[in-house]
Structures are given as C-alpha cells and as structure tokens.
C-alpha cells in the first residue's frame, strides 16, 4: 500500500485529493493547521486517513509527517490575493518558507515526488493569450510572486537533489466544499450563495474580466496523474478547462443552472487582480494523459446541488 502526504488536506481542493487517494486504497496523511481548512471536509473519509494538526512551517512536525510517504501533494498555502497585498510578509512566510520546509523534509526522508499546487496568477496581466507554460512569469501580487518562488524552489531541488517535482498551475477552481463565507472564496461560491437565495451577485469592476473556471474533480484527476507521470517531472503545467468566459457570462451560466434571471451589482475592482486569464492545457494533455471530464455547466449544477444539500442539513 502506498502512503501519501497531503499538506493543506483539510482545505477545499486538498480534501478532494485526500478523498480520491483514500478511495483508491492508499494510506493518506493530512497535514493542516485548520486555519482555513475544516475537519468537516474530511468527515466522509476520517476513518481512513491520519490527520496531523500543525503548521507547514514547523520543521520537526513536517519531517515526521513526510516519513514513509511515497509522494507529497503540497497544497498548504495562504491563497487570498487580497490578503497577500495586505500581509505580504505572512504570505511569503507560509507559501515560500513552508514550501522550503517541505522540500527539505522530503530530501531528509528520501521522498522523491512532490506535486505543487501553483496558480495561473504567475502569468500576471500579460496581454498575450492564451497563457502557455513557456511564457515568462509576470506576477502582480505577492501571492503570485510566492507561487513563482515555490515553482523555482521545486525546480532547484530537482536539479540539486534529484527530487521529482510537478507544478500544477490551477486556473479558477470551483466545486463542493468551497466556503462561500470565507474571505478566500472566489466568484462561483459567492455567486451561488447569493443567487440561490434570490439575491443579486456582487461583481468587482465591469465584469468583463475573463477567467477559466475548472471543476475540482478535474483538478484532482490532474494531481493523481502528476504523482506518477515520469515525463512530467521538473515541469509546470496549466490545469484549467481550456475555455475562458467573462464574469458577466458566468452570472448568466449560473442563472441558467438555477432558472433565475438576476442582474449583478457592480463594485470597485480588487487590487492585484488580473484582467484576463486564459491558458492552453495542451502540455498537461500530453505529459499527463489528462483532460477535463466535467464541464462548466455540469460543475455548476453539481456545486449548486451540494450547496442546497448543505443548507438543508
């Protein structure tokens, strides 16, 4: 039986990764300080995983958590762009310092493969579309800067110490367990929360900014494939749907899924946000044998159903 460590494994994406690994018959160890992750996210799989409560910057704790792991899925991070602008020191400490701690612990334990959760934010606000992995990163927020630094650290440990690192640059991930009340919540959960209650969604700026929304099950598939794909070692790969839409069109898609006709309320733009995000996923298709299997409409319907069930409990 293989053993995997999932840092940030009680969070939104991390808990889905942990669940998929556990359901596949692996032994799963989750490291999470529960600052934004929730133990409830692991409720359905709690008997089949080991939850280690603690900070990814705690060297001794991370060293213990890594021992015996065949691979590490590193998702622990401060993920809010707005918070990174307000608290860049904390963001760098957690995202860069924490990644370094994980890499050093892996080197000491002899663990070889790490799948790093990175972000399309590394591309910044370049007008060149779609984004390809060979483009020069141009981060415009401290959060994005930390993701670039994390990728470079992983690549350096590949060259110096023989680790096998794959960096997955997520576009806008959505799905069940994404908390709409959290300061970290993105557009989809906030819009669904308001619109299922009959309230108009709040859109930052003019709403014509574009994003690539990818359902969480597709991201989980990419993580599992990246853990074993030999050809992907040392690379960064875009993980999205391969299709971008405007925020206004997202509102229209949610209206269609819910059978509503709610117009958005416009608010001021957020500092550090990029204007357009669109990327090619061809490299991930080639290197991982991956492609998204759940489309936007189906993903929105599944997420709305989960949210309705949560409210009904």
Q: Is 181 exposed, middle or buried (0-12, 13-18, 19+ CB in 10 A)?
A: exposed
Closest CA to 186 of 80, 275, 266: 80
Q: Is 206 exposed, middle or buried (0-12, 13-18, 19+ CB in 10 A)?
A: exposed
Among 143, 157, 170, 215, the active-site one is 143
Q: Which residue reads 């998204």 in tokens?
A: 292
Catalytic: 215? no
- Which residues does the annotation mark as catalytic? 143
């Amino acid at each position: 039986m293989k053993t995997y460590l999932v840092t940030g494994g009680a969070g939104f994406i991390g808990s889905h990764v942990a669940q998929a690994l556990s359901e596949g018959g692996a032994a799963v160890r989750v490291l999470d300080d529960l600052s934004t992750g929730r133990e409830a996210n692991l409720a359905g799989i709690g008997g089949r995983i080991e939850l280690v409560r603690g900070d990814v910057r705690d060297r001794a704790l991370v060293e213990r958590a890594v021992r015996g792991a065949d691979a590490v899925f590193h998702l622990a991070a401060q993920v809010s762009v707005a918070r990174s602008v307000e608290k860049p020191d904390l963001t760098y400490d957690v995202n860069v310092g924490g990644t370094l701690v994980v890499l050093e612990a892996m080197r000491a334990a002899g663990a070889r493969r790490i799948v790093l959760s990175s972000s399309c934010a590394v591309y910044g606000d370049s007008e060149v579309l779609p984004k390809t992995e060979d483009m020069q990163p141009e981060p415009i927020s401290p959060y994005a800067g930390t993701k670039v630094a994390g990728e470079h650290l992983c690549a350096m440990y590949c060259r110096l110490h023989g680790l096998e690192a794959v960096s997955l640059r997520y576009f806008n991930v959505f799905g069940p367990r994404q908390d709409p009340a959290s300061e970290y919540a993105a557009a989809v959960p906030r819009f669904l929360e308001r619109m299922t209650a009959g309230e108009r969604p709040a859109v930052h700026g003019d709403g014509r900014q574009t994003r690539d929304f990818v359902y969480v099950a597709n991201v989980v598939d990419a993580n599992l494939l990246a853990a074993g794909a030999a050809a992907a070692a040392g690379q960064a790969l875009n993980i999205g749907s391969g299709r971008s839409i405007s925020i206004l069109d997202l509102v229209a898609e949610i209206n269609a899924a819910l059978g509503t006709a709610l117009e958005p309320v416009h608010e001021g733009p957020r500092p550090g946000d990029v204007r357009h995000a669109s990327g090619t996923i061809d490299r991930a298709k080639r290197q991982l044998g991956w492609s998204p299997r759940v489309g936007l409409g189906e993903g929105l319907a599944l997420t709305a159903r989960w949210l309705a069930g949560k409210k009904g409990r």
